[in-house]
Amino acid sequence: MAAGGVDLVLLDIMMPVLDGYEALRQIRATGNVPVILVSAKGQDPERILGLNLGADDYLAKPFNPLEVVARVGAVLRVYARLGAGLSGGSESDAGAAPATPPIRLHDLVLSLDEATLTRAGQPVPLTPVELRMMELFMAHPGRVFTKQQIFEHAWKEPYVAASNSVMVGVSKLRSKLADDPQRYIQTIRGIGYRMGA
């Protein structure tokens, strides 16, 4: 069970008083509970905005209830694989997969089993997408990745050439990691991004 007893949030964008985007911002400011946005607005701009704000998936109305069940299951499996603690840790570890060693680079330590990143010993809050971006960069320091490679690894879906999701994601990571935007993640003009070796 996630902190506060919530396993996953199905969040409608068009709510009175507080819209779904602002609710998502507040959820992401306090934790990494899985969030699936639900809306009658199924156009790309709304979908991309929701994903950039940290949603794990997006469902456009009307939808098949069985699709909701399938998508909820898929998102929960991703969190379980990343060690987000959704099971509450009460079950026996017998037969569990061996622990994955943390990835260490510069003053960063990324634990995939615990779904955490620390910088100089201080925790850096990440969404699942950001965590997968850091996994890609830190596991291959110095290697340049295209926007398509980054998108398909972090978002787990086919790349949309017109999407600015990777640029926004890199910008958010940089703001969380350091004041100097090029300190960790460097822009390689015309190609993509890399983590400094």
Query: What pairing do the DSSP bridges indicate for beta strands 35-39 and 57-60?
Result: parallel
Over range 49-63, report the average pLDDT: 80
Distance CA 169, CA 108 (A): 18
119 and 71 inside one domain: no
Higher pLDDT: 93 or 151? It is 151
107 and 189 inside one domain: yes
Residue 87 lies in a domain: no
Amino acid 143 reads R
Residue 89 lies in a domain: no
115 and 72 inside one domain: no
pTM: 0.56
pLDDT score, position 44: 66
116 and 54 inside one domain: no
Residue 19 sits in a domain whose CATH number is 3.40.50.2300
Tell me the backbone φ, ψ of residue 143, rounded to 5 degrees.
-80, 135
27 and 110 inside one domain: no
119 and 165 inside one domain: yes
Amino acid 92 reads S
Beta bridge partners, 143, equal none
Structural domains of the chain, count? 2
Element (H, E) at 93: none
Residue 61 lies in a domain: yes
Q: Which of 81, 114, 149 is the last residue of a domain?
A: 81
- Which residues have a Cβ under 8 Å from the Cβ of 109 and sit 6 or more positions away? 102, 103, 117, 118
Residue 157 lies in a domain: yes
Which structural domain, as residue segments, surrounds residue 77?
Answer: 3-81
Q: Quick one: which of 79, 30, 33, 75 has its CA closest to 57?
A: 75
**Could you read off the pLDDT of 83-116 as tens digits, one per residue?**
544 344 444 444 445 667 888 888 899 888 788 8
Q: Which of 50, 81, 112 is the last residue of a domain?
A: 81
| pLDDT band of 75, cuts 50, 70, 90 | confident
Lowest mean per-residue pLDDT among 20-24, 70-74, 79-83, 176-180 = 79-83
184 and 125 inside one domain: yes
| pLDDT band of 187, cuts 50, 70, 90 | very high
Residue 137 sits in a domain whose CATH number is 1.10.10.10
Distance CA 194, CA 141 (A): 7
Give the highest mean pLDDT range of 61-65, 98-102, 147-151.
147-151
Q: Is 147 helix (H, G, I), strand (E, B) or coil?
A: helix
107 and 77 inside one domain: no
Token pair listed for 68: 């909701």
